[in-house]
Structure 1
Amino acid sequence: MTQELSILATIKQHLSDMTDLEREIAEYFLTQDLSEKALASQQIAQELHISQAALTRFAKKCGYTGYREFVFDYHNCIRQQEAPTSTINYGVTKRVLSDYAELHQQTLRQLDEAQLQRIAQMLEEADRAYFYGVGSSGLVAREMKSRLMRLGVVCEAMTERDSFAWTSSILDSSCLVFGITLSGETEDIISSLQIAQKKGAKTVLLSTKTFSEFTESITIASSRDLNYGNRISPQYPFLIILDILYAYFYEIDQPRKAEIFKNSWNR
């Protein structure tokens, strides 16, 4: 299913460059299980009540020379996933896995490794770290605490709005504060991070939006309706970044951290 995953991710990658009509065509290919016969340009045109020229323009928006080349790739994808005796609904499977592939591709395009190295160093130097998040983002905050405390980080996950206020009273320049919000519009997270910044703490925002006022702002990958969690977990793109950040942090004084990690499991 690798090729199929790739072509669906490619379609999604170019959605923002498409016209409304081209997005309708894209939605059709993303949600339908189409046989080889059903891929004929005339049949697709009749089904969607569009011209064959519109299909050509759609294929070119996806990076192909024309609809015929697009169909060739799409057909290869279908052949790879065919399993006549299987009861698996590949239509559902491919939509979920293509969302994962899209998030991977976005993360790779947006990733700033130098930035993550800087943040890893900030973690190394901080006396205490705090992770702010509510709802689904609160689960990410707890995961960050669980992972990093096993490497010796003195840290706490703050997942209740009331806890943000009292935490701010003990912040100083030795602290590092992470704010986690997919939309970038969770007022309690943004305002609490702003307070932490004024207190002299270093601040890191993880969000789909970028805020230049904080020490670092990591851009998180997203897909359509990810915040609703109706197809894949909205925590997923955060966890990708967390794993990479964890790896960079682990590399700093690795022998010491390996010993700390080992001892944390032996207790």
Structure 2
Amino acid sequence: MFNGFGIISLEGDLLMLFSDRITHINDLTDNEQRIAKYIENNLNAVSTMAIQTLASKTYTSHSAIVRFAKKLDYSGFRAMRQDISKDVQQNITKLNDVDANFPFSSTDSALDIAKNISDLTINAVKRTLAQISEKELNAAAAKIMESKRLVLFAIGDTQIRARGFQSKLVKINKFAIIAEEYSDESWTSVNLDENDLAIFLSYTGNSSNYLNLIKFLKQQKVPTLLITGNPDSQMIQYASQTISIIQNEYDIFKVSTFASQITFEYLLDTLFAIVYSQSYKKNLIKLQSNYNKLTSNDILDSIPKDKKRS
């Protein structure tokens, strides 16, 4: 666990941008605060800097730098510098130009707002991509493919994204259930077993109801996948797998849930695409077969001849 705010994935690996680690860290000594401030203001330089140079620049010592790195859950300075270099290479530090909570003001023109929302969308996707690994994506996709039944726990705006995911899965003969469909998520949960998969979508990860449900599912040995934006969530310790993506979005004080919903939609679309790709040819053949059945029985309107591709 990472000093009270770590991200647990498949095997306890920490998946967090350096810029997010240094922003969320607490209880720094005066020396460590000086180190943190210097690094934040000089990321490009620090990404190739020797430890002795950093110690000199921050008026600290070699051992102080190592202790600081370990406080951020790195094995040492080299591992921390490697992550700093990744942030610099991926231009993570430049992805915060648009405030995710208030991406426009009353004085912005329509085109200004359109550009801000465009930038916010791109930034949110880039931040998400920078925080996920191939290993965890493949593991999550495998769980989805192997599950007998798939249940999605999501409320509010997030449930809209869950329904989009549900709709896509139907096309490949994978039927998912929205747990809250008839306000009976408790009864849905009690009927799941080790052959099923429960996916929890919760950006704040603070729902007491979801916490109780995921605890119960762990006791019943039901596989669970938690997708959240809160590395402090108590739900993490009970989930079989967690994908945690941090966006610069507040829990409550904001215009809307722009960044978090972009994250959910992007991740769910990505997982669907990975699942689809595992049986790509089979899915295409099945799509064509189903399409022919629907059109030949007048269930689905046929494509007009002049619209068909040669």
Superposition TM-score, scaled by structure 1 size: 0.63
Deviations 1:79-103, CA, capped at 9 Å, x for gaps: xxxxxxxx96443233322322321
Find 2:153's aligned residue among 128, 132, 135: 132
Q: Is the 8 A contact 2:144 2:275 kept in 1?
A: yes
1:182/1:208 contact within 8 Å kept: yes
Equivalent-residue separation in structure 2 for 1:220 and 1:132 (angstroms): 18
Alpha carbons 1:180, 1:189 under 8 Å: kept: no
Work out whether 1:253 is the aligned partner of 2:233. no
Query: What are the Cα deviations for residues 203-224 of structure 1, in whole angstroms up to 9, with x where unaligned?
Result: 0001012413211101134233
1:220 is aligned, of 224, 233, 245, to 245
Query: 2:222: which partner in 1?
Result: 201
Question: CA separation in 1, counterparts of 2:255 and 2:290?
Answer: 33
Question: Conserved in 2, the CA contact under 8 Å of 1:183 and 1:209?
Answer: yes
Contact kept in structure 2, 1:14 and 1:61, CA below 8 Å: no
Answer yes or no: is the 8 Å Cα contact 1:184–1:207 preserved in 2.
yes
Contact 2:249 2:259 (8 Å CA) reproduced: no
- 1:61 is aligned to 2:47: no
- 8 Å contact 2:194–2:221 — kept in the other structure? yes
Task: State the distance in 2 between where 1:105 and 1:62 align.
Answer: 22
Q: Tell me the SS of whatever aligns to 2:205.
A: coil
| 2:150 aligned counterpart, secondary structure | strand
Map of 1:180 onto structure 2: 201
Name 1:240's counterpart in structure 2: 266
CA shift digits 1:26-63 (9 cap, x unpaired): xxxxxxxxxxxxxxxxxxxxxxxxxxxxxxx99x8386
Gaps in structure 1 of 5+ consecutive residues: 1-12, 19-56, 66-73, 75-86
Choose which of 80, 88, 94 in structure 1 pairs with 2:115: 94
Structure with greater proportional helix content:
1
Kindly provide the amino acid, as one letter, of the partner of residue 200 in structure 1.
Answer: K
Count of matched residue positions in the alignment of Structure 1 and Structure 2: 198
- 1:91-131 Cα offsets, whole Å, 9 max, x none, are 32333223223212211220122111111111111111100
1:260–1:130 CA distance, 2 compared to 1 (3 A) = farther
CA displacement 1:134-190 (0-9 Å, x = unmatched): 111211221121111211113211235832111022111110110011111122223
Within 2, Cα distance between the matches of 1:105 and 1:126? 30
Equivalent position SS for 1:248: helix
Using the TM superposition, name which of 145-154 and 158-167 deviates more.
158-167
Go from structure 1 to structure 2 and tell me whether the alpha carbon gap of 1:137 and 1:190 turns closer, same or farther (over 3 Å shift). farther
Alignment check: 8 A CA contact 2:154 2:162 kept: yes
Distance 1:204 1:149 in 2: 20
CA–CA separation in structure 2 for the residues paired with 1:252 and 1:146? 19
| 1:151 has 2:158 as partner | no
Change (3 A) 1:15 1:138: closer
Question: 5+ residue gaps in structure 2?
Answer: 1-17, 24-36, 46-93, 95-107, 295-310
Secondary structure of 1:212's match? helix
Give the Cα separation in 1 of the matches to 2:137 and 2:218. Answer: 19
The structure showing larger relative contact order (alpha-carbon pairs under 8 Å, at least 6 residues apart) is 2
Q: Distance in 2 between matches of 1:161 and 1:62?
A: 53
Q: What letter matches 1:246 in structure 2?
A: F
TM-score w.r.t. the length of structure 2 is: 0.55
